[in-house]
Structure 1
């Protein structure tokens, strides 16, 4: 999410999150709205999640009125930002919150946290999200870009291979199947193309067995 930037009109809490001052965060939480945002919709939780500050994220998540799924101007949640930044420890903390929405979509592009992780090549984050139930078949607003397609498009063979071997990819959509095949043909290399062909064959083989 490189096109996103922190706006103006900082609260004391937001400033403390930017500077990484956990003591100031504790003090500000007594007086200020934990979900207050700047002019671009960035909350302290967004900022701490992007910066990888686990101590501050923990403090914010401990607040009873925290909105863990709050969206900024670009409609991105803290989980999406942490996933796209590769901050695994922050992703772990956010996923433990009882109100987390792992498959929330950013309204700007329509990406989920898993798509963000796949696009940036953050394999440990992708594995953690899938382990917590993230939908590997979710797509962005175009309906053509899933986590698998984004991993292939951006040359992240390890992420694409992991998703393919998970056995969770639904290849019944002709458009998504075609997108994966086209991008694998252009950028995937022989090994990834072989993995994709095998995964597609296995999917339809399982489907045929289930129908018989």
Structure 2
């Protein structure tokens, strides 16, 4: 069949125009049509019908033309993956009733149930589980469907999964992140509340980097979740990660000024607390990232502008090491001088970008 005609038939499938498709896809075309593939991943007509939710077209392709129910594209996605990921309940039910493998794996070891949990369609999820989908299967990153629903912020899906598999919450990814970490990081407050009510996560559980759910909430600016973890889960606001950094330092890196205000003003966290074996203050982290407003916030909260880390470096050294001209200007105007670090290196000697060099020249009145 000519490529042009094949593309017309593909368009009819995509538009769900069954009668035209039935009229134009003639019996003599069927053997050839079964092998047609489109796009980078090599999707079949069945993939397209399932992805777009055309159940009648799907039935025509499978039952009348005998196309492959389990055809896999380049990512090993089956038609069931496509229908589940897009929340097309009728297509999912039809494929399952037609004998589709309920726990087939696509690239990354994702099942159709995992794909379904990226959406809020409980009907699809229920249909997959009732046809035998295993909720405890994990993908290559160690996430099961409960973990995925926690990221997406779907409390009603999580309640259902807990009802059908009460122990499903007790899972960690390959880097030891729990669903509570994930929900806190993504700001899913309803999910966090549900997890704290129905699950049994240890307070301040740590991932492989030593990050707690509280740190995740703070460094992403989710103060409602941070408060919830403090009140209902006894989170420790000064817990340290694997490198010795507190939530304060992580908030300085991500420029979460509101989180910094909350930690210092409401919780009494020491604004000059040091992190890692190098004894680095939060001010240095903000300076290295070039977060001028965060530098101002820390200084207003009492950060010591003259503080040096374990190698004798000031915040000015950190700003120049990151080649952050705006932060350099701010620190110089705030009164921080270009002193030497523990090795005798002056901050300006680290300057590489013209804007950073100009900032020093301006402070010395040489431009």
The TM tier, using the shorter chain, reads 0.7 to 0.9
**How far does residue 127 in structure 1 lie from its aligned partner after superposition?**
0.4
**Normalising by the residue count of structure 1, what TM-score does the alignment of the two structures yield?**
0.74
Q: Which runs of 5+ in 1 are unaligned?
A: 1-5, 199-212
Higher Cα radius of gyration: 2
Cα-Cα RMSD: 2.9
- Which stretch of the first structure deviates more once superposed, 174-183 or 145-154? 174-183
Secondary structure in structure 2 of the residue aligned to 1:96 = helix
String of CA shifts for 1:54-99, please: whole Å, max 9, x gaps. 3322323445833111111121111111111122222222222333
- Matched with 2:358 is 190
Change (3 A) 1:34 1:28: farther
Contact 2:320 2:348 in 1 (8 A): no
- Matched with 2:329 is 161
Higher normalized contact order (CA 8 Å, seq sep 6+, divided by chain length): 1
> Given the alignment, which residue of 267, 271, 276 partners 1:102?
271
- Matched with 2:247 is 78
Q: How many residues align?
A: 189
* Whole-angstrom CA distance in 1 between matches of 2:194 and 2:278: 36
Q: Which runs of 5+ in 2 are unaligned?
A: 1-172
String of CA shifts for 1:104-163, please: whole Å, max 9, x gaps. 2221543221111000000111100011111122223322x2211111232322212221
Change (3 A) 1:19 1:191: closer
**Normalising by the residue count of structure 2, what TM-score does the alignment of the two structures yield?**
0.45
- Which stretch of the first structure deviates more once superposed, 63-72 or 184-193? 184-193
Contact 2:348 2:357 in 1 (8 A): no
Structure with a larger share of its residues in helix: 1
